[in-house]
Structure 1
Amino acid sequence: MLNHVINRTFKARLHTGAPILMPGAANALAARIIEDQGFEAVYLSGAGLTNTYLGMPDLAFIGLQEIAQHTATIRDATELPIVVDADNGFGNALNVHHTIRTLERAGASAIQLEDQKTPKRCGHFAGKEVVPLAEARSRIKAAVDARQDENTLIIARTDARATDGYQEALDRAAAFIEDGADITFVEAPQTVEELRGIPAALGGTPQLVNLVVGGKTPILGMDDLGAMGFSLILYANVALQAAVHGMQVALSQLQADGRMDEGGPVASFMERQRMVRKDHFDALDRKYAYKE
């Protein structure tokens, strides 16, 4: 399916029906599992990519080329809309313009930009700093101008709740809407009352809420968040945290027993092959096999 068709369909879906529950994927295999489980969209998490690709924390160690490479790989692996975490755009407004062009070509359906200073930090870490509002707005304006497909969505995230307070975060999100952002994302609200106030304050513009297991934001159900007015409900690293736990459990058992078969806490050999579409590639091999 062509990316502009995926983008157009995703944009229309965002404005209709129940909120979209969106897990994060740090790689193409995770994206395939997310699609196989019936989710409607996938999120390429900068934190998850940094953790899995480098084995390092989310402290601005990943750059644009790594993000673009993984976006393209995930686009080849799934027809789901891909929401891409582009951190703070990797520089000033001129850099943001290049970032949007690059990620759109790579297959992004929506691109998220934040207002943090470099080096940026995970939204649920301490020590974050944000750029002045005028600079943050210039990033969003550049992003909106840079996209080639009007259905490629720009998500404007603010981390100002942690640095300048809740009202400043709402004010910044409102300014980003004026600048053309399609979705806004107030990161790390800390109470149910703050959650409820975000869609109420920001009118009819779709809102994204990021639920981090172990993070600062209260975990609520989809029905409650949908009733509040949220359109995208993000669990950016549930799959990653589950994978870490699963590897620890399986490897601990392997270490303790000195053996492992399919009765252990692992996917079967056949399930692993199904998830990577081995039957599809076997069919291609037969189709194109050279016969003398």
Structure 2
Amino acid sequence: MLYSTITAEAKRARFREELASGRLLRVPGAFNPLSAKLIEEKGFDGVYISGAVLSADLGLPDIGLTTLTEVAGRGAQIARVTELPTLIDADTGFGEPMNAARTVQEMENAGVSGLHIEDQINPKRCGHLDGKEVVGLDVAVRRIRAAVEGRRDPNFLIMARTDVRAVDGLSAAQDRAKALVDAGADALFPEAMRSLEEFAAIREAVDVPVLANMTEFGKSELFTTDQLASVGINLVIYPVSLLRMAMGAAARALDTITAEGSLTSRLDEMQHRAELYELIDYESYAGFDANIFNFSVEK
């Protein structure tokens, strides 16, 4: 009832253990707390909280317009409803390296299990768009060092994301990956890899967990979990997938209302009210206050 029964600290410790297990962790992106509960119900390993999704949810492009407060607030809302560990997109750390340290502490306070900080300049661009620019290696390293310095819970995961592959090529991405790990990054997020061989090259360059971003309509082919596991990837995210599916369904529903005058023809595509109530554990609230739940819904 209400929120997760597992503390944030326990989730972080479990996340670390699972990343060290050697198996590939599957971490879909939640677009709200309810979808995070669905991810958990379906048996996935964690919940990703995407900056692109949060921006889109606010009707904004993913170019660094969201604030630390907005992102941490949404992170808290999602983290507190699921037993799963949560990984959040912290963009470029929301400012200078000192801001990266504060960002870590705000995300710890929000109850998430880890974050990633990238090496793009401000304002940033979506990682799968052309025209990206990255900061110099010295700034990228300082961001990660500051984040590590700001950490209070040693199990809070600090992941470094590098976008340098699209700017200076794979060899530069390997070199930067090594430098970011040397700066203290616990894990690595190489953005916009073009092939399994490129993922394998990054995997060989560092000795920390490596993440694969399987976002649709981007630079990377949509590799299967078996393919990613075969080259040693430790964690795969699907950051915007559920939002895209939900918005596609919403658009089709609105078109159906216009064309048919009702949604009768699409009822079998909807989550039933009974399924929704089960997902949010409506009936358990009866133990707290019998007046809240005093009816049943037939499927």
Q: TM-score range by the shorter chain?
A: over 0.9
CA distance in 2, matches of 1:29, 1:10: 21
- Which region of structure 1 is more displaced relative to structure 2, 280-289 or 111-120? 280-289
Contact 2:181 2:208 in 1 (8 A): yes
The alignment-based identity, stated in percent, is 39
Is the Cα contact below 8 Å between 2:29 and 2:242 reproduced in 1? yes
Structure 1: any 5+ residue segments left out of the alignment? none
The 1:274–1:254 alpha-carbon spacing in structure 2 relative to 1, beyond 3 Å, is farther
Deviations 1:173-226 (A, max 9, x none): 100111111101110011232122111222x21100101111101221111211
2:222 alignment partner in structure 1: 219
CA distance in 2, matches of 1:80, 1:287: 30
Partner letter of residue 235 of structure 1? Answer: Y
The TM-score with structure 2 as length reference comes to 0.92
Residue 263 of structure 2 is matched in structure 1 by: 260
Aligned pair count? 287
Distance 2:291 2:257 in 1: 40
Q: Equivalent of 1:176, from 177, 180, 183? A: 180
Deviations 1:18-57 (A, max 9, x none): 20011011211111111111111000000011111x1222
1:192 aligns with 2:196: yes
**What amino acid does structure 2 have at the position aligned with 1:269?**
R
Aligned equivalents of 2:14, 2:196: Cα separation in 1: 31
- State the alpha-carbon separation in 2 of the partners of residues 265 and 40 from structure 1: 26
Deviation at 1:163, TM superposition (A): 1.4
Question: Could you tell me how far apart the structure 2 residues matched to 1:67 and 1:139 are?
Answer: 18
Pick closer, same or farther for the CA change 1:100–1:273 going to 2, 3 Å: same
Distance 1:216 1:138 in 2: 28
Work out which of the residue numbers 9, 22, 45 in structure 2 matches 1:4. 9
Aligned position for 2:232: 229
Cα separation, 2, equivalents of 1:2 and 1:218: 36
Contact kept, 8 Å, 1:250 with 1:265, in 2: the verdict is: no
Aligned counterparts, 1:92-171, within 5 A: 92-171=96-175
| Amino acid paired to 2:76 | A
Contact 2:177 2:202 in 1 (8 A): no
Q: Partner amino acid for 1:46?
A: G
TM-score where L is the length of structure 1: 0.94
Runs of 4 or more, structure 1, over 4 Å off, are: none
Cα deviations by residue, 1:116-168 (Å, 9 ceiling, x for unpaired) = 11111110012211111101100100111111111101000000111122111
Structure 2 gap segments, 5+ residues each: 1-5, 294-299
How big is the shift at 1:6?
0.8
Say which SS state the counterpart of residue 285 (structure 1) adopts: coil
* Distance in 2 of aligned mates of 1:29 and 1:55: 19
Instruction: Give SS of 2:290's match.
Output: helix
CA distance, structure 1, for counterparts of residue 292 and residue 227 of structure 2: 52
| Residue number in structure 1 paired with 2:296 | none
Tell me the C-alpha RMSD between the 2 structures.
1.7
